[in-house]
């Protein structure tokens, strides 16, 4: 019988990272892919992106509704509770041998809690990282403690997972799965990209993704407005925005972006999701990537482009020399963008080295998931570091 792997995805960004792993699993006759979609994938507000998954040729084994029409902290807490209830039913029906999850979002947190209660082993990708400005930090480390196999993106993250008490033989440093996209996708050229978006690039272009900073004392509205004010300093630049996610404060950010885009349609392109091909092509074609997405720290340096990383959302993560940190004030963001465009900064970009390994993570992960002995995998001893 094939080993059944229930891979769970709740957002467009996470699905893009999992894409090649899903392909590897689906192509292996010793494995059965049980793809479970939830969260933003099922929301009309966020583009019903489960349709894109189906268009990519994947069968969706289960759809788990859990996203309430609220992005308040109370709404998020209730969504987590609904998710645990719904994932309990879905996983009980699917009966997977392993649940596979990536990252730190609350949808994944709900799924892993249900898997733990059902005694289903969990494999976790991208553990050990830190995002000190978001509640994702606590969620990620909690998922680590509920997981049984760990696939991390760098050695420092492997050591941190071990520091959390996980046995070293269960922690695999495979590099960032995002880098597989850079190797295996044929990115669009400028003409193809403009045709795909029906949007013309200018001599100067920015790609912007800004998500709520869930532990910040500054309101999401004020932070997003400071960013838009900074972008106004560069009227010659065309801007491609991807919308904020479903964290607390995401809707108010998206409302501001919609108003900003509607006021200047020739200069601004706004979308819920570009998809991996167009998103990575955009990185290659623009001059600066701006915001607080993890892609600014992983994919963007690998494409030798500058990142202006705003605020504390990604604080604690490994950052290449192409990443410029900025506070959330308009003047600081403006200064950081100018520095990213300067000849002094641009000259170093071709020599930037990725801190998240090389392509090939998806195949390495698949092989471990396929061959790891699951006997007694649920029994974990706390691994103590030597005094």
Rounded distance, CA 199 to CA 9, Å? 30
Reported as a pLDDT band with limits 50, 70 and 90, residue 152 is: very high
pTM of the complete model beyond 0.75: yes
**323 closest CA partner among 338, 304, 342:** 304
Reported as a pLDDT band with limits 50, 70 and 90, residue 244 is: confident
What pLDDT, on a 0 to 100 scale, did the predictor assign at position 55?
92
**Side-by-side strand order, sheet with 307-310:** 268-271, 237-242, 204-209, 288-291, 307-310, 323-326
Helices (H) and strands (E) in the chain, counts: 15, 13
Looking at 3.40.50.2000, 3.30.70.3150, 1.10.10.10, 3.30.590.10, the CATH number of the domain 3-175+360-371 comes to 3.40.50.2000
Rounded distance, CA 75 to CA 80, Å? 9
What pLDDT, on a 0 to 100 scale, did the predictor assign at position 3?
98
* Tokens coding 178: 């995002």
Q: What is the mean pLDDT of the chain?
A: 92
Residue 132 has pLDDT above 80, yes or no: no
Of 156 and 358, the structure prediction assigns the larger pLDDT to 156
Residues ≥6 apart with Cβ < 8 Å to 255: none
- CA angle 116/135/105 to nearest 5° reads 50
Residue 214 has pLDDT above 70, yes or no: no
The domain defined by 185-351 folds into Rossmann fold (3.40.50)
CB hemisphere CA count around 163 (13 angstroms): 10
3-175+360-371 against 185-351: fold identical: yes
**169 closest CA partner among 377, 362, 318, 386:** 377
> pLDDT digit string (tens) for 72-119?
789 889 999 999 999 999 999 999 999 999 988 889 999 999 999 999
Task: Look at strands 31-38 and 60-64 and give their pairing.
Answer: parallel
What pLDDT, on a 0 to 100 scale, did the predictor assign at position 213?
76
Q: How many CB atoms lie within 10 A of CB 253?
A: 25
- Looking at the DSSP bridge assignments, the partners of residue 32 are 4
Rounded distance, CA 319 to CA 216, Å? 21
Reported as a pLDDT band with limits 50, 70 and 90, residue 246 is: low
Tell the burial category of 350 from Cβ atoms under 10 Å away from its Cβ (0-12, 13-18, 19+). exposed
> pLDDT digit string (tens) for 249-303?
788 899 999 999 999 999 999 998 888 899 999 999 999 999 998 899 999 999 9
Reported as a pLDDT band with limits 50, 70 and 90, residue 134 is: low
**120 closest CA partner among 152, 140, 150, 146:** 146
* Structural contact between residues 102 and 17, judged by C-beta atoms closer than 8 angstroms: yes
> pLDDT digit string (tens) for 300-329?
999 999 999 999 888 888 999 999 999 999
Q: How many CB atoms lie within 10 A of CB 372?
A: 17
Return the domain boundaries, the chain.
3-175+360-371, 185-351
> pLDDT digit string (tens) for 173-201?
999 998 998 889 899 999 999 999 999 99
> pLDDT digit string (tens) for 27-65?
999 999 999 999 888 888 777 889 989 999 999 999 999
């Amino acid at each position: 019988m094939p080993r059944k792997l229930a891979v769970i995805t709740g957002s467009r960004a996470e699905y893009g990272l999992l894409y090649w792993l899903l392909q590897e699993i689906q192509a292996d006759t010793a494995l059965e892919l049980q793809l479970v979609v939830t969260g933003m994938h099922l929301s009309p507000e966020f583009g019903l992106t489960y349709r894109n998954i189906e268009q990519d040729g994947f069968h969706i084994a289960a759809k788990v509704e859990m996203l309430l029409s609220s992005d308040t902290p109370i709404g998020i807490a209730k969504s987590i509770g609904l998710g645990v209830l719904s994932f309990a039913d879905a996983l009980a029906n699917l009966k997977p041998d392993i649940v596979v999850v990536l990252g730190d979002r609350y949808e994944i947190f709900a799924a892993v809690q249900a898997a733990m209660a059902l005694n289903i082993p969990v494999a976790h990708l991208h553990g050990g990282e830190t995002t000190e400005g978001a509640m994702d930090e606590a969620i990620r480390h909690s998922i680590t403690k509920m997981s049984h196999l760990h696939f991390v993106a760098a050695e420092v993250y492997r050591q941190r997972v071990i520091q959390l008490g996980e046995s070293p033989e269960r922690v695999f440093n495979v590099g960032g799965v995002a880098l597989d996209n850079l190797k295996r996708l044929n990115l669009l050229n400028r003409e193809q990209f403009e045709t795909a978006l029906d949007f013309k690039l200018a001599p100067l272009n920015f790609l912007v993704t800004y998500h709520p900073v869930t532990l910040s004392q500054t309101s999401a509205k004020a932070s997003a407005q400071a960013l838009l004010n900074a972008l106004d300093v560069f009227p010659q630049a065309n801007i491609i925005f991807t919308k904020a996610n479903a964290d607390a404060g995401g809707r108010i950010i998206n409302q501001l972006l919609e108003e900003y885009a509607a006021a200047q349609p020739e200069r601004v392109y706004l979308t819920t999701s570009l998809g991996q091909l167009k998103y990575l092509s955009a990185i290659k074609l623009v001059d600066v990537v701006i915001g607080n997405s993890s892609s600014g720290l992983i994919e963007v340096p690998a494409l030798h482009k500058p990142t202006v990383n705003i605020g504390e959302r990604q604080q604690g993560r490994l950052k290449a020399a192409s990443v410029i940190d900025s506070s959330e004030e308009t003047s600081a963001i403006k200064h950081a963008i100018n520095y990213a465009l300067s000849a002094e900064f641009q000259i170093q970009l071709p020599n930037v080295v990725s801190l998240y390994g090389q392509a090939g993570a998806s195949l390495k992960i698949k092989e471990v998931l396929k061959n790891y002995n699951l006997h007694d995998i649920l029994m974990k001893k706390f691994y103590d570091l030597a005094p």
